[in-house]
Amino acid sequence: MHLYLLRHCEPESGTNPSLTEHGRAQAERLGDVLANVIPDGESIRILTSDLHRAAQTAKTIRTKLGVTENPTQFPGETSDSDKQQVDWLMTTLRSVASSPNPPKHIVVVWHYPRVGKAIDRLVGEGVLEWPDIYGAAAGVDCDNTFSSDSGNLRWFLWADMLL
């Protein structure tokens, strides 16, 4: 299974903000990357935080990928610890992977630092120090267990590298 973990793109300031113009351009670039990485016709599932900046990033990517199904949203702000949130994500990924028609690709749009904690869980701590950068993305090949150290980091980039 191919997993793509993304931090939402650059937001405006304020409570639950939209993306800036630059953030919208970042989301377009990330969508282009994923459209080039994911072969046409292969099944894709998008999971995103329900906070506007993440949902807006996911919507742009969904359009670029030609995905007709709305992204599955989950609470972006909870009082749970980072560990509890990563545990929840891994359980959700296992559920998606074991569904009757599992997708070949899962895209997750989330928040810093939790997206980095998820990478640490999947590929091992110290393999990638996820930076505090909007529009950062990683491609990970995983087995369907989504257990500790079960993934292989294939690539990492951030949208502004693609200017």
User: What's the pLDDT at 77?
Assistant: 84
- DSSP string covering 29-51: HHHHHHHHHSPTT--EEEEEESS
Mean pLDDT of the region 111-140: 97
Whether pTM > 0.75 for this model: the answer is yes
User: What's the pLDDT at 136?
Assistant: 98
User: Which domains does the chain possess?
Assistant: 2-102+114-136+145-162 (3.40.50.1240)
Which pLDDT band holds residue 76 (cuts at 50, 70, 90)? confident
Average pLDDT of the chain, as a whole number: 96
As a whole number of angstroms, the distance between CA 39 and CA 24 comes to: 24
User: What's the pLDDT at 34?
Assistant: 98
User: What's the pLDDT at 162?
Assistant: 86
Q: Report residue 135 as tokens.
A: 């529009």
Instruction: List the one residue out of 42, 57, 64 whose CA is nearest residue 135.
Output: 57
As a whole number of angstroms, the distance between CA 61 and CA 68 comes to: 11
Q: Give the model confidence (pLDDT) of 77-92 as tens digits.
A: 888 999 999 999 999 9
* CB-based burial label for 14 (10 Å; 0-12, 13-18, 19+): exposed
Identify the three-state secondary structure at position 120.
helix
Q: Give the model confidence (pLDDT) of 4-51 as tens digits.
A: 999 999 999 999 999 999 999 999 999 999 999 999 999 999 999 999
User: What's the pLDDT at 147?
Assistant: 94
Which pLDDT band holds residue 154 (cuts at 50, 70, 90)? very high
Residue 163 has pLDDT above 80, yes or no: no
Instruction: List the one residue out of 103, 143, 106 whose CA is nearest residue 4.
Output: 106
